[in-house]
Chains A and B, each alone.
Chain A
Amino acid sequence: MANFYETGPAKPVTESVRVDKVTPGARARHNIRAAAVILFAIIGLIPIFIMVVTAFKTRADVVAVPPKVLFQPTLEGFVFLLTERVVLPPAALAEKKQSLEQLDWMERVAMASGQTITGPSDYVRRLWNSVIIAGISTLISVFLGLLAAYAFSRFPIAGKDDLLFFILSTRMLPAVVVTIPLFLMYRQFGLHDTHLGMILLYTAFNLSLAVWLLKGFIDEIPKEYEEAALVDGYSRMQAFRKIVIPQAATGIAATTVFSVIFAWNEYAFALMLTSEEARTAPPSIATMLGRGGIEWSAIAAGSLGFLIPVVIVTFILRKYLLRGVTFGAIRQ
C-alpha cells in the first residue's frame, strides 16, 4: 500500500482510466459503490421475484407463514385467472373424478380445488383490449410524431417554439385533473367505454412525448443527408423515407417503447372511462381483489401476464435502443 505510488498497480492497466482512479483507496471505494448498486438492484427486484413465485403457488402456499421458499409449483393461479368457475357439489365432483382422463389440463387443475370451468374469464378479453388500444395508439402517435418532429426539425415554422411548448404542456396536467371533464365529454360524444375513445386519448397523450423525443433524434441527423438525396433527384418525401426513417430507427424504437409502456400501464383514465367493452388490463387486475376472497396467485399471474408484452416489445427493439449504431459516418 505504502509504496503504490512508487511501484504502481500489480497488473498493467489496460483500460482507459485516470491515474487517481487506480489507487488502492479509489479501487476500494469503487467496489463499495458497486456493491451498493447491486444491493439496491436486488431490493428492487424482490417484488417482481415474489410476484413470479406467487403466480405458481397454490392458495395454501401463498398465505403460508413463514413464506415457503420451496414449494410444489402449480398453474392454479393462471387457470383461475383465465376462467370462470363454480364450486361443484361433492357428488358431481366424485362423478367427474371417474372420467379424469378425458378432461383437459385446465379442468384438472380446477378440480384440484373442487371447481369446474364454466367459461373464459374477462381477463383474456381485457388483455386483448390492452393490446389493441396500446398497439394502435402507439402506431398512430409514432407515425404522426415522426412527421411532426421532422417538420419541426427541418422547416421554418412560425411560432415553432411556442408550438413545441404547447405540445409539451398537454402532459403537464395530472390525470386526476382532466379525467372528470374528459369523462363528461366522452359521455356526450359516445366515446365512453369504446376502443376508439381510449385510442384517441392515449394517442393524444403519447403524441407530445413522441414529437419531443423524435425531434431530438432527427435534429441529430445531418440535413446534408437529405440535401444529397435532393440534389440526386429524390423528392423530399422519398428522402424522408429512404434516409431519415432508417437513420432515426433508434429514436423510433425508443419512442415506441415509451408509448407502449404508457398506454399499457395507464390506470386512472382506463378506470374512469371504460367499464365493460373497452376495459383494459390494469383496472381489471385491481378489481380482481374484490371478488369472493383474494385470489393472490391469480392476481400475481395476471400481473405477470401483463408484464410479458412490455418485456417482449423491449426485447425485440433492444438492438435499436442501443444508441450509436447508426451515427458516426459523419464527422462534425
Chain B
Amino acid sequence: MATIELRNIEKRFGETYAVKPFSLTIQHGEFVALLGPSGCGKTTTLRMISGLETVSGGTIHLDGANITWQKPGYRNMAFVFQFYALYPHISVRENIAFPLKAEGMAKSDVYKRVDEVVSILRIENLLNMRPGKLSGGDKQRVALARALVRKPAAFLMDEPLGALDAEYRESMRAEIKRLHLSTNATTVYVTHDQVEAMAMADRIVVMSAAEVQQVGTPADVYHAPANLFVARFIGSPGMNLLAGPRRGEKVELPGTGNIYTIPAPQREVLQAATPEGKNVIVGFRPEAAMLNEQGALTGEVYATDMLGAYKLLHVSFDSDTVVHIRCDRMVSHPIGARVRFDLDPQQVRFFDATTEKAIGPTQSAGTAPISVQAANAQEKAA
C-alpha cells in the first residue's frame, strides 16, 4: 500500500522557487507522470518525495502518516536515477543485491530474491558482468531490477529512459508499464517527453517554470488543456492557437475572411468570459480540422510533411500565423495552393487572451485510471 499525499509542498533555493506550492494525492497503484521542460522542478519534486531533498514548506504523507521529515531509507521507496547510478566496482548481481543487504537479509534469501527479479526482467545473462560493460538498455534493466528487488511501496523514476536510444526507449516503455501493472506499486515517473507521459501515465502533472500547470489524465491534458502552455506542450505539433477579436458569436481570425463561428453550446460561456471586441484564443488539434471545399477557414499551403500514416499540412493564414492540419496521405497539396477547412466543434477549445487560461471545463469525460482500478480490484480480492 502506498498512497502518497503532497500537501502544499514547495522548494526554494535561496530566494528562487524550484517548485511552487502545490498539492497532489497519488492513489495506491497509480502511475503519475511529472512532465515538463528541463529545469521546471520535476527532479526536485521527486527528490522531495524520496527524502533526498527537504521541503521548504508543506508536508508529505504516506498512507496518512506524515513522512515529511523521515529519512530516505525509512520511506520504502525505490529511486531510479536518470543515469542509472549502478556501482561500477561490483557485479550486476551484487548491484541488484545491494538494497537487500541493507536490511540484513540472509544471504540465501538475498540471492533467491535476486534471481526472481532477474527472471522478471530477463537479464540472467548479465549477472556476472560489471555495469560498465553493459549497453544503455541493459543498464536500465539492471537499475530497474535493483529498484524492484526490495518490493518497495513506491517507485520514483527520474527520466529513466532519457539516456536511451530511440530504439530501446519504446520497448523499455512497455516493459516499465508491464512491471507497474504486475507489481501495482505506486509510481511517480519524471519525464520531459510528452509522448512517454501520454503513453504510460494514468495521470499527468504538467509543470512549467516551477509551477504545476495542470493535473489530469492524458485525455484531459490533450483534449482539454488548462492553459496555453499545456496546449502547446502536449502533442507534436502542439495545439493550433489563433487569436482574434470576438464580435457577437464570431471570432475574426488572422488572414482574410477567416471568420470563425463559435459553436452554439459554448457561446454563452464565452460571451460571459470575454468582452465584446476583445481578443479570444481559438485552439484546435491538427486532427480537428477537416478539409472541405466550403470550409469557413482558409489559408495557403506553406509546407507538407509526409509522416507515413498521414500528412501534416502547414497552412499559413498570414505572414506570422501558421496552423498544422492533419490530412489524408494520398491527397497531394502543392505548395502555395489555397485550402479550405472546417473545425470539429467538439474539439475546439477557447482560451482567455490575457490570463492564457482555458475558458470552460478542463476535464474530458472519462473514468478512473486503469491501474488504480486494477489495484483496487486486487485489494478487494485479497
B-binding residues in A (CB < 8 A): 222, 224-225, 227-235, 238, 243, 246-247, 249, 326-332
Contacts and interface: CB of A to CB of B under 8 A. Distances in A.
Given A228-B85, A326-B89, 18 more contacts: A222-B85, A224-B81, A224-B85, A229-B102, A230-B71, A230-B72, A230-B73, A231-B72, A231-B73, A231-B77, A231-B79, A232-B98, A232-B150, A233-B99, A238-B102, A328-B132, A329-B88, A331-B136
A232 B83 contact: no
B163 A227 contact: no
B102 A233 contact: yes
B50 interface: yes
Given A230-B72, A233-B102, A328 B88 contact: yes
B85 A330 contact: yes
Contacts, number: 76
Interface string B68-111: 00011111011101011111111000000011001100000000
A310 B335 CA distance: 78
Listed residue (A230, A246, A327) with the most chain B CB atoms within 10 angstroms of its CB: A230
28 contacts: A224-B85, A225-B85, A225-B87, A227-B52, A227-B79, A227-B81, A227-B85, A230-B72, A231-B50, A231-B51, A231-B52, A231-B75, A232-B73, A232-B98, A232-B99, A233-B73, A233-B102, A233-B103, A238-B102, A246-B87, A246-B89, A246-B90, A326-B88, A328-B88, A329-B130, A329-B132, A330-B85, A331-B163
B239 to A, nearest CB: 35
A247 B88 contact: yes
A326 B87 CA distance: 9
A59 B79 CA distance: 72
B41 interface: no
B216 interface: no
Nearest to B136: A331
Given A232-B73, A233-B102, A332 B83 contact: yes
B244 interface: no
A243 B136 CA distance: 22
Contacts of B146: 228
A251 B73 CA distance: 29
Nearest to B143: A228
A231 B74 CA distance: 8
Interface residues of B, number: 32
Contacts of B72: 227, 230-231
Nearest to B131: A329
A157 to B, nearest CB: 17
A232 B102 contact: yes
Contacts of B51: 231
Interface in B301-348: none
Contact of A330 (B71, B83, B98): B83
Interface of B: 50-52, 71-75, 77-79, 81, 83-90, 98-99, 102-103, 130-132, 136, 139, 146, 150, 163
A165 B271 CA distance: 68
A249 B87 CA distance: 13
B84 A234 contact: no
Nearest to B75: A231
A234 B86 CA distance: 15
B4 to A, nearest CB: 15
A224 B132 CA distance: 16
Nearest to B71: A230
Contacts of A229: 98, 102
Contacts of A233: 73-74, 99, 102-103
Contact of A228 (B71, B79, B139): B79
Nearest to A230: B72
B127 to A, nearest CB: 16
A228 B73 CA distance: 10
Contact of B81 (A228, A234, A243): A228
B371 to A, nearest CB: 23
Contacts of A327: 88
B25 to A, nearest CB: 22
Contacts of B98: 229, 232
A229 B84 CA distance: 13
Contacts of A234: 73, 102
A329 B84 contact: yes
A329 B129 CA distance: 12
A331 B81 contact: no
Given A231-B77, A231-B78, A232-B150, A331 B52 contact: no
B71 to A, nearest CB: 8
Contacts of A328: 88, 132
A331 B132 contact: no
A331 B79 contact: no
A228 B84 CA distance: 10
A255 B330 CA distance: 70
Contacts of A330: 83-86, 88
B128 to A, nearest CB: 15
A130 B150 CA distance: 51
